[in-house]
Structure 1
Amino acid sequence: MKIYKTKDYDAMSRKAADIISAQIIMKPNCVLGLATGSTPVGAYRQLVEWYNQGVLDFSEVTTVNLDEYKGLPRDNDQSYYYFMNEHLFKKVNIDKSRTFLPDGMEADSETACRTYNEIIHATGGVDLQLLGLGHNGHIGFNEPDTSYAKETHCVTLSERTIQANMRFFASEQDVPRQAYTMGIKTIMSARSILVVVSGEDKAEIVKTAFFGPVTPQVPASILQFHSNVTLVADEGALSQCPALFHSAK
């Protein structure tokens, strides 16, 4: 695992965008696995800026997102489709027909998961998978468990994740209780993985996930077994970790 330490969130975002843009430039028809949440917003903002400067071309890129809430229509401003459209897709020249997320409005979980697995397999595999890191070690919506889920599956969200997501909704009752998410096997099948983490409140889980034992109770810990993982985190997030990282501006 390669670890880059940045001064703050903005520097973290720029370094992450550097890595994503390099993937696009090296392989214009690459498959990007994308993530939502507050952490990658800065990286998406930087990618849009470089696109506007003529540095990046998204016209051949295919994307597959990690997850989507079950029961939220795409036009709901808290759906991940809406998030991706607002922060990236509508601001660059990406072909919308090659941007994929699980179908949150498919009520039958088996159908939704099977369909999304087929979509991911049809892309030929993810070249670069972007991940955030939850306070309990979840990646995507793969929550702490006794075993690792393999492919796309329906998850009942933990109370901690529901509480963390409350800030995006009018009330706790509005927070979805289930989501469709890529499984650990799918994530680990990506050719390369980029993890972005910011803030001292994530310091303990960063240490646990990347320097502790590998266990499904800390889903992100499985990334220790991947051959090509890059962690980009700011000073706060790395404050409890051994000094085994590169400095990045």
Structure 2
Amino acid sequence: MEIIISSDLERIAMLGADAVAEHVLADPTAVLGLATGSSPLRVYRELGRRVAAGELSLRRCRAFLLDEYLGLPADHPESYRAVIERDFVRLVDIDSAHVGGLDCSAADARSSCAAYEERIAAAGGIDVQILGVGGNGHIAFNEPGSPAASRTREAALTEQTRRDNARFFGGDVDAVPQHCLTQGIGTILEAKHLVLIATGEHKAQAVRELVEGRVNAECPVTALQQHPHVTVLLDGAAASLLRSQDHDLAAQPSQR
């Protein structure tokens, strides 16, 4: 696990974009895993800058979303499909038809989730997966208690996650859906390279568990310790509870 701590949010964005670009330059048909939320926004903007400057092209890439709310209309501005169109697709040159999302309109959620797994496998698997982390340690919408081997499925959101996400719904917790479809932890761990971005003091405890804690289901992000290629990009606030805090150099996590 590579840990990089920087007080410069633009540097974090550049390093995240570098990780994506490395895969795309090696294989122009690379498969990208896309997270929503505030954490990856600067990375997506930096990728957009590089595409606009002619430094990079995602035209031949495919991409898959991590999760989606259940109960929102398809055209709702906070559906994750709408968010990724606005915050990523419009900034780069990827074909919107090549960006796969979870089908929350299907009558049979289990079959829909199984089909999504099949689509990812048919694309050759995800080469580089962008991730954020919730204050309670959730990745995608895998809340505390999610099994490490879980696959794409329907899940319930905790009250903390709904409170955290209320800022996207005008501060109204009641407007945040209670259920979602999400890639499972086991699905996420099959990506070749995981790039997790965490900023802000409210992420510090989850980051500490990831870097210095033990693998445990109550903090789902700790499952990333089991992956062979993880890059963790942190600002000083998110890293504030770590024993080692070098803001410029990569570091390895302490022995557990």
Q: TM-score, normalised by structure 1?
A: 0.95
| Correspondence 1:211 to 2:212 | yes
| Correspondence 1:192 to 2:186 | no
What is the CA-CA distance between 1:121 and the residue it aligns to? 1.3
What is the CA-CA distance between 1:120 and the residue it aligns to? 1.2
| Correspondence 1:235 to 2:228 | no
Secondary structure (helix, strand or coil) at the match of 1:194 reads strand
| Correspondence 1:96 to 2:112 | no
| Correspondence 1:66 to 2:66 | yes
Q: Deviations over 1:13-42 (max 9, x none)?
A: 222112112221121110111100011011
Secondary structure (helix, strand or coil) at the match of 1:63 reads strand
What is the CA-CA distance between 1:111 and the residue it aligns to? 2.3
Distance in 2 (alpha carbons) for counterparts of 1:121 and 1:113: 13
What is the CA-CA distance between 1:51 and the residue it aligns to? 0.6
Q: Percent identity?
A: 36
RMSD: 1.7
Partner of 2:135: 135
Label 1:245 to 1:127 Cα distance change in 2 as closer, same or farther (>3 A).
farther
Task: Give the stretch that moved more between structures: 141-150 or 127-136.
Answer: 141-150
Letter in 2 for 1:221: T
| Correspondence 1:46 to 2:46 | yes
What is the CA-CA distance between 1:90 and the residue it aligns to? 2.1
CA contact (8 A) 2:239 2:245 kept: no
Q: Deviations over 1:79-135 (max 9, x none)?
A: 111111111112322122211010122242212212211111111111111110110
Question: 5+ residue gaps in structure 2?
Answer: 251-256
Distance in 1 (alpha carbons) for counterparts of 2:106 and 2:134: 26
Partner of 1:81: 81
CA contact (8 A) 2:189 2:227 kept: yes
Letter in 2 for 1:182: Q
Label 1:29 to 1:194 Cα distance change in 2 as closer, same or farther (>3 A).
same
CA contact (8 A) 1:15 1:248 kept: no
Question: 5+ residue gaps in structure 1?
Answer: none
Q: TM-score, normalised by structure 2?
A: 0.92
